[in-house]
């Protein structure tokens, strides 16, 4: 199995899970120094990135399946995102020349369904269009996960830690709804896809067991139960978010770093409906999510937070 983005949050978790499941794994890594945990688990590594055709050819050589986790989530301009999310996918498709070609699973984002919100969302949708238009000879599946969290996550973990201290920052309305997905449910879905007789062609969303999603009120209430203390909502005014994002964007322009909080990201955060389902994918690959938010929070933060029991008493 060949994996791109293998040193990222999802990619690393996936590679280690696949090795524990007995799959041979070959991983693309930008830097040899970041390959240590992969190599320690018996994973073959290829040094390079999506801009290196020779590395991509080596990565996919003899592979039965390719799992494309690599992508850009930070940037200032559309070009910053397209390099990985569109051009990088095109180069990977160019590398899949073997006969028969390995099946391909590509990770997109739920944000792709609202490309008007941000450069990131637009680039993800553009990557999807590329696969739809040029993936004709390949057996492929494209997944649109929502916000993915778990141990090692750097995006939602700071938010959860603030909630643990009794405050819940809310970027929009308390009634806004979001879907969530615990990282191990995502790796389980990918494993089920690998074991399926064939790759279902199409774009599939997936989420945790709560298909109606979570309002911010639901999230804060769940956090309060898990942490054993009240979590008070802290509404962040839209003007304040936009102001910080504008300063961040301007600073990135001057200094040259890649910002996370941009005007586009603020529009994503304040979007009212990020709800999706999982049953179409689940029926196609015999998979269903297991970890709802209460258990996921406990597993993510660990320590003295005890994971709640699942229905039926299973922890």
List the CATH number of the domain containing 49: 3.40.50.720
* Measured distance CA(25)–CA(45) in Å, rounded: 8
Q: Report which of residues 183 and 98 the model is more confident about.
A: 183
Residue 142 · residue 106 · CB < 8 Å: yes
The dihedral formed by the CA atoms of 245, 50, 142 and 98, expressed in degrees to the nearest 10 = 170
Give the residue from 108, 104, 103 showing the smallest Cα distance to 71: 108
For the chain, what is the mean pLDDT?
92
Number of domains in the chain: 1
Q: Is residue 216 assigned to a domain?
A: no
The whole model's pTM is what?
0.93
Q: Whole domain around residue 80: which residue ranges?
A: 2-152+180-209+275-291
Q: Is residue 265 assigned to a domain?
A: no
Q: Is residue 56 assigned to a domain?
A: yes
Q: Is residue 227 assigned to a domain?
A: no
Q: Is residue 31 assigned to a domain?
A: yes
Give the pLDDT of residue 245. 82
Q: Is residue 283 assigned to a domain?
A: yes
Q: Is residue 219 assigned to a domain?
A: no
The string of DSSP letters for 101-123 reads: PPEEEEE--GGGG-TTS-HHHHH
Q: Which residues lie closer than 8 Å to 51 by C-beta, 6 or more apart?
A: 83, 87, 88, 91
CA distances from 247 to 244, 253, 265 (A): 5, 10, 13
Q: Is residue 17 assigned to a domain?
A: yes
Q: What are 8-27's pLDDT values in tens digits?
A: 999 999 999 999 999 999 99
């Amino acid at each position: 199995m060949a994996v791109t983005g293998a040193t990222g949050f999802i990619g690393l978790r996936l590679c280690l899970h696949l090795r524990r499941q007995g799959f041979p794994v070959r991983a693309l890594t930008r830097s040899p120094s970041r390959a240590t945990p992969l190599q320690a688990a018996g994973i073959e590594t290829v040094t390079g990135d999506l801009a290196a055709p020779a590395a991509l050819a080596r990565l996919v050589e003899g592979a039965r399946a390719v799992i494309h986790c690599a992508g850009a989530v930070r940037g200032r301009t559309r070009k910053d995102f397209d390099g990985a999310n569109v051009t990088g996918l095109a180069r990977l498709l160019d590398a899949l020349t073997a006969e028969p070609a390995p099946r391909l699973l590509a990770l997109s984002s739920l944000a792709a369904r609202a490309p008007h919100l941000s450069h990131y969302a637009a680039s993800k949708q553009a990557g999807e269009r590329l696969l739809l238009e040029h993936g004709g000879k390949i057996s492929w599946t494209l997944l649109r996960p929502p916000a993915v969290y778990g141990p090692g996550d750097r995006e939602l973990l700071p938010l959860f830690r603030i909630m643990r201290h009794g405050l819940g920052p809310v970027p929009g309305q308390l009634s806004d709804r979001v879907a969530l997905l615990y990282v191990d449910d995502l790796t389980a879905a990918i494993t089920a896809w690998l074991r399926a007789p064939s790759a279902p062609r199409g774009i599939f969303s997936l989420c945790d067991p709560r298909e109606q999603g979570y309002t911010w009120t639901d999230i804060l209430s769940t956090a309060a139960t898990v942490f054993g203390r009240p979590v008070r909502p802290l509404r962040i005014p839209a003007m304040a978010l936009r102001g910080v994002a504008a300063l961040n964007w301007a600073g990135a322009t001057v200094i040259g770093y890649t910002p996370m909080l941009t005007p586009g990201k603020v529009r994503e955060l304040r979007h009212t409906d990020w709800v999706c389902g999982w049953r179409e994918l689940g029926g196609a690959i015999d998979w269903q999510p297991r970890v709802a938010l209460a258990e996921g929070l406990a597993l993510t933060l660990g320590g003295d937070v005890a994971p709640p029991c699942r229905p039926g008493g299973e922890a």
